[in-house]
A and B are shown apart, each in its own frame.
Chain A
Amino acid sequence: MGRMKDFKRFMSFVGKEFNHILRDTRTLMVLIVMPVVMIVLFGFALSTEIKDVKVAVYDPSRDAATSRLISQIDASEYFTVTAFIDSEEGVLEAFRSNSADIALVFEDNFYHRAVHDSDGRLQVIVDGSNTNIGSMAVFYVSSIVSSFQKELAQEAALNQAAAGGSSSSAEAVPSVQIHTSTRMMYNPQMKSAFNFVPGVMGMILMLVCAMMTSVSIVREKERGTMEVLLVSPVKPFSVILAKAIPYFVVSAFILLTVLCLSVFLIKVPISGSLMWVVLVSLLFILVSLSIGILISTLVAKQEVAILISGMVLMLPTMLLSGMLFPIESMPKVLQWISWCVPAKWYIDSIKVMMIQGLGIRYCLDAVLILCGFLTVITGLSVFKFKDRL
């Protein structure tokens, strides 16, 4: 009986919070449109179609084979040869001055080595700071090279037939081999260009949950309605819980939108288990909600709440979560600080599951750390809340 009453009271609270959110159309639009815009923008900026990639060439052998290969590459719609350089060191210069995106480095005496020693060496050096061009360019270069290799082999066979014609057995045909090796500069691990998807997810969910929840609780404090609620028989805990539920639902909806967009629009594969991606995301949503609640117990003004969630949450989330800059190359101190950023662990684990396609056990530590965050922060905010009364 009493419990039924409590539940009804609680549900009327939840309904009120939904009303607040749904009637604030402007905020709602921002909440829903922002992730869509971000994903679409990033997605198109990172369009996987490459065109006219600038190629610098270092060709010390200058023989028939290299010049044919170079002109084939130049003729393809993907590449434009922009510079001939006269030393390997020139590659760096070309990258720095942005006059080339990739560089082809032939070895000396290329034709001879390819046809007679079956070991023509060609190095493709990629400016890895443009992750998107990098992987695609290597792919196209190698396909051009391999068809060129067949061409050379046929010619060699014809030449041989014309010259001697003694044996037509397959063993006698010289095997032409071009070994293409790839070197990445500036981004040696060749991180996937899709890394931004987990980053955007982490940022958006953090923003929606932490900022919106804290602002909406603090708004009640500021307007004086919180006092009225605290004088009433409602348990403070259920007031807070009622606030968290609608934002949980909104966040889950945003999560769904982002996942759909990334899978269907920009074709980021969810290589790992979808279930775990969703579960870990829900865990992260809970962590962000608890952060929002903690903030709301600490401050009394909406502006302060926004400032704290903006400065204290957003900046570290963007800068220290590995979304924009690789954490591995940061100074040690910053790396330690980044461990205190929940979004880092979330983005890490989503990268592992979504991009690398590994199972949950490869990011179990990150998930456990998120659980730890949730426990500690929830505990703190419950403690702070009681403290005030």
Chain B
Amino acid sequence: MSRGENTRKRIRELLGYADDGFLREDEVIRTEGLTKCFGDFTAVDHISFSVNKGEIFGFLGANGAGKTTAMKMLCGLSKPTGGRAVVAGYDLHFNSDVKRLKKVIGYMSQKFSLYENLRVWENIRLFGGIYGMKDRDIAEKTDELLQRLDLTEQRNRMVRDLPLGWKQKLAFSVAIFHEPRIVFLDEPTGGVDPATRRGFWEMIYDAAERGITVFVTTHYMDEAEYCNRVSIMVDGRIEALDSPAALKQRYGASGMDEVFRMLAGRAKREE
């Protein structure tokens, strides 16, 4: 198409990264030997996995197992030091690809990620604007969103005055407001009671049904049960990857927390 696109293609061919069908048709993420080193320390050690379109993919691991680092690479925050990863058709090896990737993904961090001293509608408008949505679309979708969340009355309230559960629901809604292809959730439900967490997961299911792939890290094992497939990271490597049911069967465990304890118990790395 444009000259930039052509150059990009040429560079890829030269480096042996031609559009080689690395990413299969029904996949949105595929990594092979993806690695991140900080000096001598290998935070993520040759991980290879793939995530299917519309899937809810759980990314489990103890603190320090490398899941946040892996996720940061996948959403373009941090550059891999080795291996290959293609996300939503964009190769993380190329800075130009990462720029494009950022438009089609959503992100919600483990810290609460809205602006506390902006009003509800101002937060929505700001993030809609950041993702280049048109003013009219933003206005329309804002009304619809607030209605769905039952927040219409609260639209002029400062976000800091909302209860935590509402804040997190709002943050998730804002993260998928621009209809991304993938949404990355980094421990989204920290500090929330189980009932609110279930409500939150209903929203995740809704999003997945609309075709948004959900990539979620968590350390609540009841949440792991909600995922289509989970991977468990130990010491920077993926130790197991399958559906919760299959994992439980393989390890003869009654719940995911038992599976997790068995695998995480092998960790040698200090926190």
A residues sitting closer than 8 Å to B (CB atoms) are 5, 8-9, 12-13, 16, 19-20, 23-24, 223-225, 227-234, 389
Contact, CB under 8 Å: B75 / A16:
no
User: How would you classify the secondary structure of chain A's contact residues: helix, strand, loop or mixed?
Assistant: helix
Instruction: Please pick, from A5, A23, A24, A233, the residue contacting B99 in the complex, using a CB distance under 8 A.
Output: A233
Contact, CB under 8 Å: B112 / A223:
yes
Contact, CB under 8 Å: B75 / A231:
yes
B99, B108, B129, B184 — most chain A CB neighbours (10 Å) = B129
Q: Which residues of B from 26 to 55 have beta carbons under 8 Å from A?
A: none
Contact, CB under 8 Å: A228 / B113:
yes
Q: Which residues of B from 84 to 140 have beta carbons under 8 Å from A?
A: 99, 102-103, 105, 107-118, 122, 125-127, 129-132
Q: In the bound complex, how far is the Cα of B112 from the Cα of A231, in angstroms?
A: 15
Find chain B residues with CB under 8 A from A227 CB: 77, 107, 109, 111, 113
Given A9-B130, A9-B132, also A16-B118 (CB < 8 A): yes
Contact, CB under 8 Å: B122 / A16:
yes
Given A19-B118, A231-B75, A233-B99, also A225-B113 (CB < 8 A): yes
A3 to chain B, nearest CB (A): 12
Quick check: is B76 within 8 A (CB to CB) of the other chain? yes
Find chain B residues with CB under 8 A from A230 CB: 77
Closest 3 CB pairs of A and B: A224-B111, A231-B107, A12-B129
How many chain B residues touch A (CB < 8 A): the figure is: 30
Find chain A residues with CB under 8 A from B76 CB: 231
Given A231-B107, A233-B102, also A225-B77 (CB < 8 A): no
Q: In the bound complex, how far is the Cα of B94 from the Cα of A38, in angstroms?
A: 54
User: How would you classify the secondary structure of chain B's contact residues: helix, strand, loop or mixed?
Assistant: loop
B139 to chain A, nearest CB (A): 14
Find chain B residues with CB under 8 A from A231 CB: 75-77, 102, 105, 107, 184
Contact, CB under 8 Å: B77 / A233:
no
Q: In the bound complex, how far is the Cα of B131 from the Cα of A12, in angstroms?
A: 12
Q: A228-B108, A229-B130 are in contact. List 18 more A-B contacts (CB 8 A).
A: A9-B129, A9-B130, A13-B126, A16-B126, A20-B117, A20-B118, A24-B117, A223-B113, A223-B116, A224-B110, A225-B113, A225-B115, A227-B77, A227-B109, A230-B77, A231-B107, A232-B102, A233-B131
Find chain A residues with CB under 8 A from B127 CB: 232
Q: In the bound complex, how far is the Cα of B116 from the Cα of A24, in angstroms?
A: 11
Contact, CB under 8 Å: A233 / B130:
yes
Contact, CB under 8 Å: A8 / B129:
yes
Q: In the bound complex, how far is the Cα of B113 from the Cα of A225, in angstroms?
A: 5
Q: In the bound complex, how far is the Cα of B129 from the Cα of A240, in angstroms?
A: 17
Contact, CB under 8 Å: B132 / A5:
yes
A223 to chain B, nearest CB (A): 6
Find chain B residues with CB under 8 A from A234 CB: 130
Q: In the bound complex, how far is the Cα of B241 from the Cα of A104, in angstroms?
A: 96
Q: In the bound complex, how far is the Cα of B118 from the Cα of A13, in angstroms?
A: 12
Closest to A220 in B: B115
A267 to chain B, nearest CB (A): 40
Given A16-B115, A16-B122, also A224-B109 (CB < 8 A): yes
